[in-house]
Amino acid sequence: MADRGAPPQESVRARNYRLVAIDSAFVGVVSAAGPFLPVFLVRLGASGGEVGLLSSIPALTAVLLAIPVGRWLQRRRNIVPLYSKVRATGWMAYAAMGLIGALLPAEAAIPLMLATWAAASVASTAGVVAFPIVMDGAAGPNGRFDLLGRRWMIAGLSMTMTIALAGQLLRVVPFPGNFAGLLALFSVAGIGSALISRQLVIPDQAQLAPPAAARSPRLRALVDLVRAQPSFIRFELRSIAYTASIGLVMPLLPLFYVREVQAPDAWIGIIGSAQAAGAVVGYFSAWRIARRRSGSAIVFPSMLAAAAVPAMLSAVPAMLSAVDWLPAVAALAFVAGVAAAGTQLALFDQLVARIPRDHGVTFSSVDQTIQNIALIAAPSLGGLLAVTVGVRPGLLVATAFGLLACVLFASDRPSRLAPGR
Torsion-angle region of 142 (φ positive above 0: left; ψ -120 to 50: alpha; else: beta) = left
In the chain, the percentage of residues whose pLDDT exceeds 70 is 88
**Burial degree of 19 (CB within 10 A; 0-12, 13-18, 19+):** middle
Q: What is the pLDDT of residues 10-48, one digit of tens each?
A: 788 889 999 999 999 999 999 989 888 988 998 898 887
Q: What is the pLDDT of residues 310-349, one digit of tens each?
A: 998 888 765 434 446 788 888 999 999 999 988 888 888 7
Mean pLDDT confidence for 105-127: 93
Q: What is the pLDDT of residues 157-199, one digit of tens each?
A: 898 889 888 877 888 888 888 999 999 999 999 999 999 999 9
User: pTM of whole model > 0.75?
Assistant: no
Nearest to 132 by CA among 360, 406, 386, 396: 360
Q: Tell me how far apart the alpha carbons of residues 57 and 124 are, in angstroms, rounded to a whole number.
A: 11
The Cα angle at residue 158 between residues 312 and 286, in degrees rounded to 5:
55
| pLDDT tops 60 at residue 356 | yes
Q: What is the pLDDT of residue 207?
A: 56
- What is the residue-wise DSSP string for 164-178? HHHHHHHHHS-TTHH
| pLDDT tops 90 at residue 261 | no
Q: What is the pLDDT of residues 122-138, one digit of tens each?
A: 999 999 889 988 988 88
Q: What is the pLDDT of residue 322?
A: 47
Q: What is the pLDDT of residues 92-105, one digit of tens each?
A: 999 999 999 999 99
Q: Which domains does the chain have, with CATH numbers?
A: 10-205+229-410 (1.20.1250.20)
List own/partner pairs for 5-14 with CB under 8 A and 24 or more apart.
Answer: 5/203, 5/206, 5/357, 5/358, 5/420, 6/203, 7/140, 7/141, 7/203, 8/137, 8/138, 8/140, 8/201, 8/202, 8/203, 12/201, 13/138, 13/139, 13/140, 13/143
